[in-house]
Amino acid sequence: MNTMNVLVRMLLLSAIVTLSACSNEPQTADGQSLSPPVAEKRQHVVRAPAGERVDPYYWMRDDKRRDPDVLGWLESENRYTQSMLEKNQDLQRVLVDEMRSRIQQDETSAPYLDDGYWYYTRYEQGLEYPIYARRKQTLEADEEILLDGNELARDRDFFQIGGWDVSPDGRRLAWLQDVVGRRQFRLLVKDIDSGEVADTGVNGISSAAWSADGTSIFYVENHPETLRSYRVRRYYPGSGADELLYEENDTAYYTSVGRTRSDRYNYIYLQSTTTTEMHVIDSARADAGFEVFLPRESGHEYAADHVGDHWIVRSNWQAPNFRIMRVDDPKHADRSHWQDVIAHDEAVFIHEFDAFERFLAVSERVDGLRRLRVLDYVSGEDRIIEFAEAAYVAQLGRNREPATKSLQFVYTSMTTPRSTWELDMLSGERRMIQQIEVPGEFDPTHYQTDRIWVEARDGARIPVSLVRHRDTPLDGTAPLYQYGYGSYGSSMEPAFSTARLSLLDRGFIFAIAHIRGGQEMGREWYEQGRLLHKMNTFTDFIDVTEDLVAQRLVDADRVFAMGGSAGGLLVGAVANLAPERYAGIVAHVPFVDVVTTMLDESIPLTTNEFDEWGNPMDPRYYEYMLRYSPYDNVRATDYPAMLVTTGLWDSQVQYWEPAKWVARLRELKTDDNPLLFHVNMDAGHGGQSGRFRRLEQTALEYAFILDQAGAG
């Protein structure tokens, strides 16, 4: 256990938490009455140009995570949750065993070729973390282990590898690791032949890439307070020399670094919600410096990759759904030289591309579904790769070789485990090279996936992906677990989940509501779900629920909702807007204190979010946010049964947001339904690390829902 965790535990022992009884008296499994924690209220005023708000639970914010009152409060919530769930312990153990039994213990990923090596990731029997390895030239060659996550994670409560990069000569490995859960990574370098590891001492970073000449590493430093990625530095292994190359002063932008497919250029990628800019350097040249690829323009998003003697660019210039363009090496900064390769189409949203010397592979979306397109520059043939299932995902795989004619892609659906395919881009022939094996008695024909459309209250057509066991009828008798996200233009894909089978096998219908705020239906779908249109996200979700009930597809009395992060904001807002529609709600690491967080630019990620939610210093956005902010809209009414989770070290949504929300719900709600708050004291936004350990939280969630549905 690390020093910080020891300190946390010591403080918890000294904490004094006052608990008082509520009118409802929940009981433990042995019949003992148990009262939920009741938080102390302390006067605090949050000021803003458009008004002031009293926040009696503001004291729960502790940036250093050391305040004994705060830690004691969180621990009391954990004890209460544990006691309330004692009756579900057997079910949780059964669920963990089920989910674990469906994981291939010695799984190996599909290999991909890069500069003469086949790279892959594998797991060993019973171990938590991946092993990254490679073989030279052929898959029959001796294995070289690059990183063993199990060795690196030994005796740690949390461990995550945040990314890794092999030097262009193939001899050294740079990787990032986090042992707290706060996503502030440390840079380490390994000599692959000797196995010698050098700790660079570089900490608090977010991305890194070897230079094209292999003499140095470009990396991004995060701001120590806001955690915004903002400085690009160059580190020279061996000498330890370190120099500052670039600093992004606009707080709306995140910064990352990488290397192009051609391995000739390195780049700095600057991204806000609606605008991007790239800087590139021919880093094999000793005298080269970074130059702007194309100067930023408000609302213009682009990303470029280099292959051969030209650049391929994905751009939304005069193309809301994006288009693909090409420009020769020296002319990239003059957009008049950019030429269409794939023109804009109002019905087709372009997600990403892989550029090759002869071919261009594009991942695009039509009517909410992902498909692939391959363009042959020589023949001019444009081939669409489509699939037969009602709801599915087809995405580009790992394709690092510019001269190849073979395209690796990934296919999955809500009934089909993830499979990796290889497409001959000349002939169009495809073959499966790997499918994730689900041990046990799994049979995909036992499950049914459907896709329906729901009309929102303003006439918009919302796609909904459904999956159920084939024996579960769509006749209004089955419980529903509905999931959504609806922010940042992130599209929620109808992909396979082995854990979800535990719900489906117990008669649940699982639905993904592809609501506005994502980009499932193109860029306009996103625009209609952000800023002053954000309410569409929440009403879309409710409209999907009401339609599934009205069509008698699901049991109206057993509808449950789940979301995480910005999806936690979604279900938090839904809980206030339509609490009577849901029997239970699960909110993971929920962003629920929108106004207070967005007013405080010292909180990580705030300034980059203004284009998503609005800046509450502007009265228009302040007033609009107050209409939906879950924390600000809790009222004296009956709420569904609720399970709320967070991580103490969360850097994306600070733990105090859900903590304050739970405290206010306890104060005001008028029902006897359980409200449970689970705090992972050793993790951050992504939850527990380790492929088996994270199943425990999923089992806790499922056991809670199954218990509330009477389906355990």
Query: Which residues have a Cβ under 8 Å from the Cβ of 201 and sit 6 or more positions away?
Result: none
Backbone phi and psi for residue 706, each to the nearest 5 degrees, phi listed first: -65, -40
338-347 contacts: CB < 8 A, separation 24 or more? 338/313, 341/312, 341/375, 342/373, 342/375, 343/319, 344/318, 344/319, 344/320, 345/321, 346/320, 346/321, 346/522, 347/522
DSSP assignment of 171-204? SEEEEEEESSSSS-EEEEEEETTT--EEEEEEEE
Write out the two tokens for 81.
Answer: 């949750």
Instruction: Give the 3-state secondary structure of residue 149.
Output: helix
Residue 408's DSSP bridge partners are 422
Q: How far is residue 221's CA from residue 704's CA, in Å, rounded to a whole number?
A: 41
**H or E, element range at 229:** strand 229-236
Per the residue annotation, which of 565, 629, 651, 689 is the catalytic one?
565
**H or E, element range at 208:** strand 197-210
Residue 244's DSSP bridge partners are 233
Write out the two tokens for 45.
Answer: 């005023």
371-375 contacts: CB < 8 A, separation 24 or more? 372/396, 372/407, 372/409, 372/423, 373/342, 374/407, 374/423, 374/425, 375/341, 375/342
Per the residue annotation, which of 279, 514, 678, 685 is the catalytic one?
685
Query: Which residues have a Cβ under 8 Å from the Cβ of 138 and sit 6 or more positions away?
Result: 118
306 labelled catalytic = no
Are 555 and 581 contacting, i.e. CB atoms less than 8 angstroms apart? no
Secondary structure (H, E, C), 426-493: CCCCEEEEEECCCCCCCCHHHEEEEEEEEECCCCCEEEEEEEEECCCCCCCCCCEEEECCCCCCCCCC
DSSP 88: G
Are 136 and 124 contacting, i.e. CB atoms less than 8 angstroms apart? no
Residue 267's DSSP bridge partners are 258, 280
Per the residue annotation, which of 55, 354, 650, 682 is the catalytic one?
650
> What distances in angstroms separate CA 464 from CA 203, 390, 454, 461, 513, one per listed residue?
43, 11, 7, 10, 5
Q: How far is residue 703's CA from residue 697's CA, in Å, rounded to a whole number?
A: 10
DSSP 3-state percent helix, strand, coil across the chain (nearest 5): 20, 35, 45
685 labelled catalytic = yes
Residue 360's DSSP bridge partners are 355, 375
Secondary structure (H, E, C), 549-614: HHCCCCCCCCEEEEEECHHHHHHHHHHHHCHHHCCEEEEECCCCCHHHHHHCCCCCCCHHHHHHHC
Q: Left (φ > 0), alpha (ψ -120 to 50) or beta: where does 661 sit?
A: alpha
Q: How far is residue 577's CA from residue 144's CA, in Å, rounded to a whole number?
A: 55
Pick the closest to residue 205 from 179, 233, 181 (CA basis): 233
Write out the two tokens for 466.
Answer: 């459904």
565 labelled catalytic = yes
Give the strands of the sheet with 359-366, arranged side by side.
349-355, 359-366, 369-376, 382-385
CA pseudo-torsion sign 32, 583, 539, 368: positive
Instruction: Give the 3-state secondary structure of residue 95.
Output: helix
Q: How far is residue 206's CA from residue 176's CA, in Å, rounded to a whole number?
A: 8
Q: Which residues are catalytic?
A: 565, 650, 685
